[in-house]
Amino acid sequence: MKEQTIKYCENDYIILYKIINKFNTLIFEKFSVNIHRFPTLSSLALGIYSCNYLKESQIPIISGQMFNDLKKSYTGGSTDMALIAP
């Protein structure tokens, strides 16, 4: 059982490395952005947007009715909790 567990973990690491490497290659080829500079997918998305699509160096501030409408759509994310019995 120990050998099978070790082999499973080794394969898991190899597959994960290949996935991350392929993802990095695809993102770099398409957007010229290195994924290793961004700790989260959200920050990567903002980095891609900033580098490739944002024409000015500032994001405009939305106000008025448009802001109020957009604000209504933002809610907190769902959270799962697991109870662990002592």
Kindly report the CA angle at 55 between 52 and 56, in degrees rounded to 5?
125
Q: Is residue 42 part of a domain?
A: yes
The pLDDT value given to residue 74: 75
Q: Is residue 6 part of a domain?
A: yes
* Packing angle of the helix pair 2-31, 41-52 (nearest 10 deg): 20
Rounded CA-CA distance 20/26 in Å is: 10
Q: Is residue 62 part of a domain?
A: no
The pLDDT value given to residue 63: 87
Q: Is residue 81 part of a domain?
A: no
Q: Is residue 34 part of a domain?
A: yes
Q: What range does the domain containing 33 cover?
A: 2-57
Q: Is residue 10 part of a domain?
A: yes
Phi, psi of 81 (to 5 degrees): -125, 140
Q: Is residue 68 part of a domain?
A: no
| pLDDT tens figures, 42-78 | 999 999 998 888 877 676 788 899 888 888 877 766 6
| pLDDT tens figures, 5-45 | 999 999 999 999 999 999 999 999 999 999 999 999 999 99
Q: What total number of domains does the chain contain?
A: 1
| Banded pLDDT at 4 (limits 50, 70, 90) | very high
Q: Is residue 19 part of a domain?
A: yes
